[in-house]
Structure 1
Amino acid sequence: MTSAAGGIQGSTGRHVSEMLLARGVRVRAFVRQIDQRSDRLKSLGAEFFVGDFLDARSVEQAAKDVSSIYFAYPVQDGLADAAAGMAFAARRHGVSRLVNLVMYRSSIDAPTPRMRQNYLAEQVFEWAGVGPLHLRAAVFYETVARLIGASLPVRGAIRLPLGNESTILPMISAEDVARIAVGLLTGPERAAGTAYPVLGSVNSVADIVGAFARVFNRDIHYEEVTDEEWRSEVLARGWNSHAVEHLSSLWKALRAAALSRGTTRFAVTEAIEEIGGAKPKTFEQFVRERQSELAVTALGANAKG
């Protein structure tokens, strides 16, 4: 289980680990270091292996005696090396199933560099013959909430380069992604190389603004900024350049697409309920569930709830 301790981009590895442990499935958690996040998984019964995604030797050792792998590489540099190292390790130890988390659109001509890299990683796992299943997730609610949190305390506005308020975002909860991953890891055998695009809800910018305004009973508005302004703001807050380039390209693609809510390509995915076992969360449900956390990180200590 890679990225098992969780991070800032969805923490699907942590969710998958906790769900598997709750089912009594043995989990080997591959983590960078032992800390408070990993201590929680240890208390739930996880076995730990401390290593580095980009150290093929430690990845190879971690894959020994496991039958299935969940591969979720963070949105940062190094995906090609990480995928190659994991493919080598999985093939060497006879892994028969590997669930590979990638972006919603994964192709050689996808609009962002990360999406194109994801597609090449898919090919590597398929060439390795390790039973890959590709879980193609839409934009995480968690990512959007983090972006909103970067601007609301100071500006009282959602500042993004998304054109007008009618721009559509395909989105999903990281927990819904994790449920599908658990279903793919523990369910019946499926055809290697199958891709599962997963989308939990379709939201306009106006929908996102409205959800925050209702949950926090606060006057919140959308403020369009240029790509350059947005990039400068998030880089100044410590976002890595790889993630910023991916998101900047994604915003441009969504603006240019001018998609409508009813676009077939953005239909809510039945696999969330069929494989994950639960209906997908709406964005407003997510905000309500995280209200206490977001009141501190996004809206400031004085936000009304």
Structure 2
Amino acid sequence: MTSLFLITGATGKTGAGAATTLLEHGHRVRTLVHRTDERSDRLAVAGAEIVVGDMLDLDAVVQVTTGVDGVYFAYPIRPGLMEASAIMLQAAEENRVGALVNMSQISARRDAVSNSARQHWIAERMLDHFSGAVTHIRPTFFAEWLLTFWDPKSGELRLPFAKAHHAPIAGEDQGRVIAALLEDPQRHAGMTYPLYGPTELDHYQMAEIMTQALGRQITYVPIEIDEFRSQLERRGMGVHQIQHLTNVAVDYRNGIFAGTSDVVRTLTGRDPLTVAAFVERNKQYFDEPAN
């Protein structure tokens, strides 16, 4: 049966994958984007309805959720998550939306030092009051981090993760999971799913995989948190994002991001991408650091 789904953050890594998968499955997709660009243009060509709006604008969110069967709710790492969650909950209730899939994070917990991680935990508890089916997903670090933090000039990955490890998960795999949850919401109502890639690796191992795939030497250089903070400041990141990323770096060292599971295969019928497959698939994007 064809449904209408709203995808927020549709030009991002997970939202684009969810929208594309749902369109391929014959559903109607409405997207809420902050602005139009080449990414939203690609979704429009694929058949998505593009709506420009602000998730902190109650009237806009009520309007965009009208007639929608299910919503993927994803808010970026910036101030406003609590307000955006409350607005989405109110809009979904007013419009009797049937399902919400909420993007949280693996480090979300009551006692998190990261403001963003703690707010995600509180937002989960808020959205648990939704009268429809709500499902939370908690991914570990994305495979796309390798694009974001690789320096193409030096061939270095300078990150504060010591020898700790995680199983990177690609945005496209998460998009397929999100689509599966929206298509069968009652089966997953009340669930919280941690999302991982197939294999736990430390960044020395990831650098070696990148070396093989890209045909040039890639080196992981472990750094301290203060250097990482300075790196983020030079990139122009805001105070909220820097506070989050420096504190989850500590979480990472403490094993919070570690683990594996079969959730992706169970929900989608396909194994998640390995790091080698991700790098091979995205070779063209390693020419320049991601924005």
TM-score by length of 2: 0.91
Task: Give me the whole-angstrom Cα distance separating, in 1, the residues matched to 2:250 and 2:108.
Answer: 17
Query: Which residue is 2:3 aligned to?
Result: none
1:199 aligns with 2:196: yes
1:292 maps to what in 2? 284
Unmatched segments (≥5 aa) in structure 1: 260-264, 299-305
Deviation digits for residues 127-178 of structure 1 (CA, Å, limit 9, x no counterpart): 2323210011111011232012xx342x332111122xx3213421111111
Is structure 2 residue 270 aligned with structure 1 residue 278? yes
**Letter paired with 2:43:** L
| SS of the residue 1:287 aligns to | helix
Q: Distance in 2 between matches of 1:157 and 1:33?
A: 33
Equivalent residue, structure 2, for 1:236: 234
Q: Do the aligned residues in 1 keep the contact of 2:105 with 2:138 (CA within 8 Å)? A: yes
Q: Distance in 2 between matches of 1:212 and 1:191?
A: 36
Match of 2:155 in 1: 156
Q: Match for residue 171 of structure 1?
A: 168
Task: Give the letter for the 1:57 counterpart.
Answer: D
Three-state SS of the structure 2 residue aligned to 1:297 is coil
The answer to whether the aligner puts 1:212 opposite 2:210 as a matched pair is: yes
Deviates more, 1:273-282 or 1:183-192: 183-192
Which one of the candidate residues 186, 190, 213 is aligned to 1:189?
Answer: 186
User: Which residue does the alignment assign to 1:4?
Assistant: 10
Is the 2:86–2:126 Cα contact (8 Å) retained in structure 1? yes
Aligned residue type for 1:59:
V
1:27 is paired with a residue of what secondary structure? Answer: strand
Shift of 1:286: 0.5
Q: Structure 1 pair 156/5, CA: closer, same or farther in 2 (3 Å)?
A: closer
The code of the aligned residue for 1:67 comes to D
Q: Which runs of 5+ in 2 are unaligned?
A: 1-6
Contact between 1:181 and 1:276, CA under 8 Å: does it hold in 2?
no
Contact kept, 8 Å, 1:179 with 1:277, in 2: the verdict is no
C-alpha distance 111-193 of structure 1, shift in aligned 2 (>3 A): farther
SS at the partner of 1:19? helix
Cα deviation, residue 37, structure 1:
1.7
Cα distance in 2, alignment partners of residues 64 and 188 from structure 1? 18
Q: Summarize deviations over 1:15-54 as a string: whole Å, max 9, x none.
A: 1111111111011111122332212111111122221011
Contact 1:111–1:253 (Cα < 8 Å) also in 2: no
Contact 2:99 2:185 in 1 (8 A): no
Q: Aligned-pair distance for 1:254?
A: 2.2
State the partner residue of 2:135: 133
Could you say which residue in structure 2 is the equivalent of 1:110? Answer: 112
Q: CA deviation at 1:280?
A: 1.1
CA distance in 2, matches of 1:183, 1:115: 25
For residues 222-233 of structure 1, the aligned pairs below 5 Å read 222-233=220-231
Q: 1:45, 1:242 → 2: CA distance? A: 35
Shift of 1:296: 3.4
**In 2 relative to 1, CA 147–241 (structure 1 residues): closer, same or farther, beyond 3 Å?**
farther
Q: Distance in 2 between matches of 1:287 and 1:207?
A: 13
Could you tell me how far apart the structure 1 residues matched to 2:269 and 2:238 are? 35
Match of 1:302 in 2: none
Does residue 147 of the first structure (1) align with residue 149 of the second (2)?
Answer: yes
Normalising to structure 1: TM-score of the pair?
A: 0.87
CA distance in 2, matches of 1:87, 1:111: 26
How many percent identity over aligned positions? Answer: 32
Once the two structures are TM-superposed, the CA of residue 185 in structure 1 deviates from its matched residue by 0.5
* Change in 2 beyond 3 A, CA 1:168/1:51: same
Root mean square deviation of aligned Cα? 1.9
Q: 1:112 deviation in Å?
A: 2.7
